[in-house]
Structure 1
Amino acid sequence: MHRVANGAVKVEEQQHGQSLAVPVLSDRDVRRKRPPVLSFLLRLATLRKLLRVVSLLALDFAGVWAALFTALLLKAVIKSDHDLAAAVDLAAGQTREFLAFAYLVTVLLFARSDLYADRPRRPGLTKIVASLFQVTVVALIFAVASGEKFQSYYIFYGTLGFAIVYVSSLRWVHTRVTGWLLSQAGYARRALLVGSGQHIDQVAHALATSPGRQIEMVGYISLTPRPENGLRSLGALDELAEVLERDRVQEVIIADPDFPEQHAVELVDQCHRRGVDVHVAPSTMEILVQRAEFVPGQSVPLFTLKPPVFEGIDFAVKRTFDLVGSFVILLLLSPLLIALSLAVKLSSRGPVLYRSPRPGIGGVPFDCFKFRTMFDDVVVSDEELERLNEADGALFKIRDDPRITPVGRVLRRYSLDELPQLINVVRGEMSLVGPRPLPLRDFDRLEEWHKKRYLVLPGITGLWQVSGRSELNFDDLVRLDFVYLERWSVALDLVILLKTIPAVVMRRGAF
């Protein structure tokens, strides 16, 4: 006879006059949904989800409306004889005409990209930019197919530019405000790390210093001897089910890219049966496979891994982006560049620009332009400088470098000394975004696997600058370069450029 009691399934068998109770499934499968009202009352998850989706929908509506209105108003002011009031009325009327379609497409493509998902799964600026670009393409195709006639296509690219600014800004504010509210309310997702000791320590440190993630590390389960990471060991892997229930775990993070496959399948199944999310740290092979191309006609299915270089149409697109972007930035920042040049010239003796020989693409050296930040006549021995070095690996960093001028210290603190490298971009020696060029001293100390970063043009900014900068060790910085090379797109370049601004203003890790 089968009986279900308190979520446990038991089988009663009659054998030799005795009744045996054999537990078949002692753990309740939480995929069986609670009644909606009970779930709402117990955890208010329904209310949080509703508020999240409604607030994001409202912000996206405001962003799309503001982008359309600003683009149309700018066109009306520049190209018509109307006064400002008439231009506002004209822009408002045209905005109402296009708004419903633009907003509908935006919501559908944002939903497809999980931009209305909960915080741990919701992507960031890269996906927002890519989705808005897709919205523009869909709108353009629909307009052309519908027989719409346009004197210019400014309405599309103009609205796209403003939409990127408005929508991403509103969502950034939303993330910060809701994150603050959740932290004030004491909300944090309880996470468990699983893997080997070394990887657990690295992932735990990265998550502890990652902004914007409400994670409470309840402990770890290690397949190797216990690491010294300050976390609590919660037992062995075969005790996972008990740990999940006892410690009310909401997320399991597999911190080892070499985690045994047979254990991973069982772990994922146990977690999903209890409603626990599973996250996996990607391995090098998983990153490589993203650029693999299938080779047909072979007896064994083969995939070709192309080198991560920019060639053909990719090179043309990236070079065009660099040229247009560098000319625009030089034009906009010309007053600042003149002021900085005067400050450097008047504050200490020596040239305004410093030419730093650095290896470029393929390791070929070039003169990297920077504003001079050091006294021109200070001599410090190499031995003394190496003793003061505070970085690891091939990097050379000194927090209180005695050679730096007062003006130079300000320039370095806000990375303003790097602005002359826009000239290098125009000359084709650098890119706006890419792996940072290292001095010859650092290049000579690179290991062979580090030099993959020299397959492309070096950049003024990159993932280093928006992911911790000087606070990361050198190997981690090189791995960030590899991630950029594998996942490059114009949208990613644009996102990195936008994220560089707050990284510089907030002076994260710079010295």
Structure 2
Amino acid sequence: MADKSQERDSERAMCGAHRPTEFSRRKWTIIAALAVSDVVALSMSAALATYLRFETFNARLGIERLPQSASYYEAMWAFVALAVLALWREGLYDLERLTWGAGEFSRIARATALAALGFVLLSFWLKLPGLSRAWLLLVTGISFAVVSIGRLVVRTVLRALRRRGVLLRTALIVGSNPEAAEIARILRLHPEAGLRPVGCLASSHAEFLPLTYCDENTPMLGEAQQLREVVAAHAIDTAIIATTAFDHEIVSRMIAELRDTGVTILLSSGLFDILTSRVLVKEVAGVPLISVRSVSFSPQNAMIKRAFDLVMASAIVVAGMPLWLLIAAAIRIDSPGPVLFKQERVGRGGRRFLMYKFRSMFRDAEERLAEVLDANEADGPLFKMKDDPRVTRVGKWLRRYSIDEFPQLLNVLKGEMSLVGPRPPLPRETEAYSERDWQRMQVLPGMTGLWQVSGRSHLTFEEMVRLDLFYIENWSVTFDLALMLRTIPVVLGARGAW
């Protein structure tokens, strides 16, 4: 018994030894970056609001009891402090709760509104009348926008670093079944999520699987009963338990084993196609159950999406018209042929339509397709070729930044496409579609989508279908807006474009 106790103490020490220097350092580096970004953004918002309201950065409060040097910008430090506290209250510095996406924007909105309310109450408590309400509204609105942009920059930089293997947390996948294999595959495919799978643990002797089961680069490190020892030996930060691989008593035991190690414990739900905003854990008669809100493209939702498309597409067309004219001139100068390229595509419900694009290939590209089919670099029914000889000089530039896609706004206005949705396939691609593949055509195809911001040309066909079905299952206007915002850095950075 004494030996067992000593082994436990040794394991506990080993489990915690690496955290202050590695896990904590990574955690506090990210939190510090977010805090600095927020303080800078809030300070800039104060200065901008002061200038917009008073046409000077040095507007006086005009209150006799305050020192002559007091100004709106100096008083704004109270708002900065309140806003940082509100951001903390909304969980925006808790990396375990932080939502990197549309959920973050709603939390920032609540935090800035709460800070404004707190600032008003503070001014009444201190009996400081005369503060400009227009100024406070400007500060609140600008703070939301600038803080959101600042965090977007931090998130973009963090993702770029993680793709290079920096600031990654070591993850152990506990379980040996298809769910565990899918978790390992997804984490390998998306290092920007911040988790690097270093190994898997088998569920039992009977289910022990080959080293390549989870992933070709994710070895099997032992069995689940060795969880604590493996966590200590491999300096694990995060343990991801595939719950479908174990009875609930075993899951509870593993959680208890890791309780005092400092390891972050994640339980997979198996709901790979459900957005977390739709999931609620609630207790029924003492039993924790997962509730999933329903989402459907009802006639009302379809009308909302259509109105959103019409407003946004019309605004983009009007604003981008001068650029369209320059692009048209460049295409005509570079190679003979029409400016617009029309191609038959398959839309919602299998209906066909002509999709518009700026011509990026030579006029005889379709006739020359047979010459390059053997060089196809995509799987499934897709055709992709990184250095397609049929692409013109201007066309390479247009494709690199997805500018050739702009005329699809005309398809959006005609009701044949949406701003956000699944990629519209070619008729020849649909000939090989399975019943599951056809499910992605339940909605209008889109100019951008979850596939666009998740890898574009680097995705396999199966991954693209999975992302499209995920989008359909979880659609909302907020989700559409978030995907459009995420498309901007992807396009500007030319990530995944061929």
TM-score with structure 1 length normalisation? 0.74
C-alpha deviation, 1:371, in angstroms:
0.6
Deviation larger for 95-104 or 322-331: 95-104
Q: How does 1:225-236 map to 2 (within 5 A)?
A: 225-228=209-212, 229-236=216-223
- Shift of the 366–100 alpha-carbon distance from structure 1 to 2, 3 Å rule, reads farther
- Aligned equivalent of 1:507, options 490, 494, 497: 494
Q: What residue in structure 1 maps to residue 446 of structure 2?
A: 459
Cα separation, 2, equivalents of 1:293 and 1:426 = 37
Q: How does 1:95-110 map to 2 (within 5 A)?
A: 100-101=78-79, 104-105=82-83, 107-108=85-86, 110=87
CA distance in 1, matches of 2:297, 2:41: 36
Q: Please, what is the CA RMSD of the aligned residues?
A: 4.4
Instruction: Find the aligned partners of 1:413 and 1:342 in 2 and give their Cα distance.
Output: 18
Q: Would you say how many aligned residue pairs link Structure 1 and Structure 2?
A: 465
**Larger relative contact order (Cα-Cα within 8 Å, sequence gap ≥ 6):** 2
Residues 281, 510 of structure 1: alpha-carbon distance in 2 compared, 3 angstrom cutoff: farther
Corresponding position: 1:323 with 2:310 = yes
Residue 111 of structure 1: how far off its partner (Å) = 2.7
Matched residues in 1 for 2:313 and 2:73: separation? 32
Q: Deviations over 1:70-126 (max 9, x none)?
A: 3553466xxxxxxxxx43334995555566347524642x334432124x6643243
Question: Residue 391 of structure 2 aligns with which residue?
Answer: 404
- Distance (whole Å) between structure 2 residues aligned to residue 477 and residue 432 of structure 1: 17
Question: 1:194 aligned to 2:174?
Answer: yes
Partners of 2:38 and 2:147 within 8 A in 1:
no
Q: What secondary structure is seen at the aligned counterpart in 2 of 1:258?
A: helix
SS of aligned partner of 2:329: helix
Matched, 1:117 2:122: no
Match of 2:336 in 1: 349
- 1:57/1:309 CA distance change after superposition, 3 Å: same
Q: CA deviation at 1:129?
A: 1.6
Name the stretch that deviates more: 39-48 or 464-473: 39-48
Match of 2:43 in 1: 65
The CA deviation string for residues 293-342 of structure 1, in whole angstroms up to 9 with x for no partner, is 99xxxxxx998974531542x44554444333333333443332211111
5+ residue gaps, structure 1: 1-9, 11-20, 77-85, 295-300
Classify the secondary structure of the residue corresponding to 1:27. helix
- Choose 1 or 2 for highest CA Rg: 1
Residue 153 (structure 2) pairs with residue 169 (structure 1) = yes
Alignment correspondent of 2:246: 260
Which one-letter code corresponds to 1:219 in the other structure? G
| 1:6 alignment partner in structure 2 | none
Aligned residue runs from structure 1 range 72-151, under 5 A: 73-74=51-52, 86-90=55-59, 93-94=71-72, 100-101=78-79, 104-105=82-83, 107-108=85-86, 110-118=87-95, 122-135=98-111, 138=114
Q: 1:27 aligns with which of 8, 15, 22?
A: 8
Identity of aligned residues (%): 31
Alpha-carbon shift at residue 388 of structure 1 (Å):
3.0
User: Comparing 87-96 with 275-284, which one deviates more in the overlay?
Assistant: 87-96
Report the Cα offset of residue 250 of structure 1.
Answer: 2.4
8 A Cα contact 1:323 1:425, kept in partner: yes
Cα distance per residue 1:464-483 (max 9 Å; x no partner): 11111111211211221233
- Is 1:219 matched with 2:199? yes
Q: CA deviation at 1:243?
A: 2.0
Which whole-Å deviations, capped at 9, do the CAs of 1:386-425 have from their partners, x for residues lacking one?
Answer: 4332211232212233332222222122211101112222
Change (3 A) 1:50 1:214: closer
1:412–1:510 Cα contact (<8 Å) kept: yes
**Secondary structure of the residue that 2:496 maps to in structure 1?**
coil
Residue type at the aligned position of 1:353: L
Q: Secondary structure at the match of 2:377?
A: coil
- Read off the aligned partner of 1:426 and give its amino acid letter: L
Does the aligned pair in 2 maintain the 1:64–1:167 contact within 8 Å? no
Shift in Å, 1:60 = 0.9
Match of 2:232 in 1: 245
- Structure 1 residues 211, 510: CA separation in 2 closer, same or farther (over 3 Å shift)? same
2-side partners of 1:103 and 1:235: how far apart? 49
Q: What's the CA shift for 1:345?
A: 1.9
Give the stretch that moved more between structures: 141-150 or 279-288: 141-150
Residue 369 of structure 1 aligns to a residue whose secondary structure is strand
Amino acid at match of 1:432: L
SS at match of 1:450: helix
**Correspondence 1:487-506 to 2 at 5 A:** 487-506=474-493
Given the superposition, is the C-alpha separation of residues 45 and 406 from structure 1 closer, same or farther in structure 2, using an over 3 Å criterion? closer
Q: Structure 1 residues 442 and 466 mapped into 2: Cα distance closer, same or farther (>3 Å)? A: same
The letter for the 1-side match of 2:58 is D
User: Matches of 1:47 and 1:510 in 2, distance apart?
Assistant: 35
Q: Relative to 1, partners in 2 of residues 1:436 and 1:42: Cα closer, same or farther, differing over 3 Å?
A: closer
AA of the residue aligned to 1:266? R
Gaps of 5+ in 2: 62-70, 282-288
Question: CA, structure 1 residues 52+441, in 2 after alignment: closer, same or farther (shift >3 Å)?
Answer: closer
SS class of match (2:245): coil
User: TM-score normalized by structure 2?
Assistant: 0.76
